């Protein structure tokens, strides 16, 4: 069970300093073309995420290792990919790498692309039998992928170190027992969810 930012009791701070830690920032995936109102909420989300991560780093120590979903390479090559495909999380990563943190390779690209392929197939399949088969293949590939991610973090996060992980909210990673996970939860995240829910309801009403 991970900790939520803001609920770390003062007596626990020293305890956590002696453990391996992950500060987990949920990635928000949305289409490029979105309403201006939602874009403002997303901008606020990333500002709040930065503030909350800074708060954790001040209390528990700076992130020494950076992990980002979809990256099968680290270092400068990984940073270049983030700049190209993840403009919102890139500044947070770049700043910390500039202060000595290491951007690590997180994914096995073969597993990552397999999960993406099965997921895309599930978006278009019609028949029930085919859906069951594809769902099983997607689930099995996802489990292997999450196991790989857990191993990568376990292998690269040093004793008493803190890491910063960017990954989607509905991930299935089971972290090693000696790693304490702190979930970053900016207020704007709820606003994003609410905006999307209301948009779906409006669409259903329009169709009805």
Which residue reads 């790989």 in tokens? 148
What would the pLDDT profile of 103-122 be if each residue is shown by its tens digit? 999 999 999 999 999 999 99
Percent of the chain with pLDDT over 90: 77
* % of the chain surpassing 70 pLDDT: 88
Quote the CA–CA distance of 90 and 27 in Å, as a whole number: 12
Q: Is the pLDDT of residue 64 over 80?
A: yes
> What are the domain boundaries of the chain?
3-106+160-207
Asked whether the whole model's pTM tops 0.85, one would answer yes
Q: Does the pLDDT at position 15 exceed 80?
A: no
pLDDT at 29: 85
Residue 49 has pLDDT above 50, yes or no: yes
- Provide long-range contacts, Cβ within 8 A and 24+ apart, for 122-131: none
Q: Residues 202, 35: contact at Cβ < 8 Å?
A: no
């Amino acid at each position: 069970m991970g900790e939520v930012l803001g609920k770390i009791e003062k007596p626990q701070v020293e305890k956590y300093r002696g453990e391996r830690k992950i500060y987990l920032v949920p990635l928000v995936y949305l289409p490029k073309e979105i309403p201006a109102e939602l874009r403002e909420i997303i901008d606020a989300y990333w500002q709040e995420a930065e503030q909350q991560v800074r708060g954790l780093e001040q209390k528990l120590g700076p992130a020494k290792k950076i992990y980002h979903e979809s990256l099968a390479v680290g270092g400068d090559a990984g940073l270049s990919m983030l700049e190209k495909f993840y403009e919102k999380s890139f500044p947070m990563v770049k700043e910390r790498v500039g202060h000595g943190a290491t951007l690590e390779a997180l994914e096995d690209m073969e597993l990552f692309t397999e999960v993406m392929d099965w997921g895309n197939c599930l978006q278009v399949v019609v028949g029930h039998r085919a859906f069951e088969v594809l769902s099983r293949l997607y689930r099995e590939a996802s489990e292997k992928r999450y196991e790989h991610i857990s191993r990568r973090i376990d292998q690269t996060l040093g004793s008493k170190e803190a890491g910063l992980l960017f990954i989607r909210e509905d991930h299935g990673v089971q972290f090693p027992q000696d790693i304490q996970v702190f979930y970053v939860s900016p207020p704007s995240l709820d606003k994003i969810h609410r905006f999307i829910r209301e948009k779906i309801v409006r669409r259903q009403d329009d169709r009805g």
